[in-house]
Amino acid sequence: MPAKDIYHDNVCNALVKDGWKITDDPLVITIGTRSAFVDLGAEKLIAAERDSQKIAVEIKSFLSPSPIRDLENAWGQFFLYARVLRKRDPNRLLYLAISRSTFESIFQEEAGQLILEEPDFRLIVFDPNCEDILQWQPQIIP
């Protein structure tokens, strides 16, 4: 099992504060004969529908010396996991969780903007200090 990201607990706490229940830590997905580990699985009850929303969250810290390398790795991992989830668990949406400082740096540059323009890309921006979700892209339906 892979090591947890340094922001793992911060994102867990932020999701719980936002009304989510952590259901999997990690969420194991099968790709053929191999397993992959998405950092978190969570669900939230939708009172009006008496149903629940399910998400998977891949957390990335972007702390290496190369933000482009971090972006490449996050991009590849996100789209691989999203593709597998679409086949195995189509009601669960994958989100990439990044800190505010990452969003305000590499994701405001052209390289990050290219990813944000992808129609199936979903992002959670969190504040690791106060453990709050600051933004969902696209906006999640409450």
Q: Is 62 left (phi over 0), alpha (psi -120 to 50) or beta?
A: left
Label residue 139 by pLDDT band (50, 70, 90): confident
pLDDT of residue 74: 97
User: What would be the CATH architecture of the domain defined by 8-137?
Assistant: 3-Layer(aba) Sandwich (3.40)
CB 93 within 8 A of CB 54: yes
Q: Which long-range contacts (CB under 8 A, 24 or more apart) does 75-79 make?
A: 75/115, 78/121, 79/120
What value does the mean pLDDT take over residues 128-141?
90
What is the DSSP secondary structure assignment for residue 35, as one 8-state letter? E
* Sequential DSSP letters for 78-134: HHHHHHHHHHH-TTEEEEEEEEHHHHHTGGGSHHHHHHHTSTT--EEEEETTTTEEE
Label residue 48 by pLDDT band (50, 70, 90): low
pLDDT of residue 107: 97
Q: Please give the helix or strand (H or E) that residue 67 lies within, else none.
A: helix 67-88
Res 35 pLDDT > 80? yes
CB 51 within 8 A of CB 16: no
pLDDT of residue 46: 72
Label residue 75 by pLDDT band (50, 70, 90): very high
Percent of the chain with pLDDT over 70: 94
Q: Is 47 left (phi over 0), alpha (psi -120 to 50) or beta?
A: alpha
Res 141 pLDDT > 60? no
Choose among 67, 15, 18, 105: nearest CA to 7: 15
